[in-house]
């Protein structure tokens, strides 16, 4: 998944905001809380996607080839794709959608109402 494809997908999720920070990282948030990041490292267009995981997904994914605990965020249950082929685009979308649901679910009820997030949307 390219960075443009990542950004396009994340933009379809409910109540998201996008900022470029930490150099040139594409950071996606819901309710001001980060759920997914796409960074460029090294030469060329090698992007590294990171996202929040459930405890079970984190335990499974961190053991998969090409996926590592995300630097600085691993203690919060984040993984990073070091190899762009570690997951299919469809799987990345599923995990990022789940990351959005997890983070949106941690928002206060009043914030969820303000953002018009319902169980159906998450």
Q: Each residue of 57-88: pLDDT tens digit?
A: 999 999 999 999 999 999 999 999 999 899 99
Structural domains of the chain, with CATH: 3-114 (3.90.1150.30)
CA distance 120 to 112: 12
CA distance 52 to 78: 4
Interval 7-61: pLDDT, tens: 999 999 999 999 999 888 999 999 999 999 998 765 555 689 999 999 999 999 9
**pLDDT score recorded for residue 84:** 85
**pLDDT score recorded for residue 122:** 43
pLDDT at 120 over 70: no
All residues at 6 or more sequence positions from 21 whose CB lies less than 8 Å from its CB, including other chains: 27
**pLDDT score recorded for residue 43:** 55
Helix (H, G, I), strand (E, B) or coil at 44: coil
**pLDDT score recorded for residue 121:** 41
User: Within 10 Å of residue 113's Cβ, how many Cβ atoms?
Assistant: 11
User: Within 10 Å of residue 92's Cβ, how many Cβ atoms?
Assistant: 20
């Amino acid at each position: 998944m390219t960075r443009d494809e990542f950004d396009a997908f994340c933009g379809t999720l409910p109540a998201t905001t996008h900022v470029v920070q930490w150099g040139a990282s594409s950071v996606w948030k819901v309710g001001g809380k980060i759920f997914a990041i796409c960074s460029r490292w090294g030469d060329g267009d090698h992007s590294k996607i990171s996202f929040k995981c459930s405890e079970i997904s984190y335990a499974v994914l961190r053991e998969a080839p090409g996926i590592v605990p995300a630097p600085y965020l691993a203690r919060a249950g984040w993984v990073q794709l070091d190899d762009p082929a570690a997951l299919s685009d469809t799987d990345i979308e599923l995990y990022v959608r789940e990351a959005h649901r997890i983070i949106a679910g941690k928002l206060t009820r009043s914030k969820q109402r303000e953002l018009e997030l319902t169980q159906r949307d998450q």
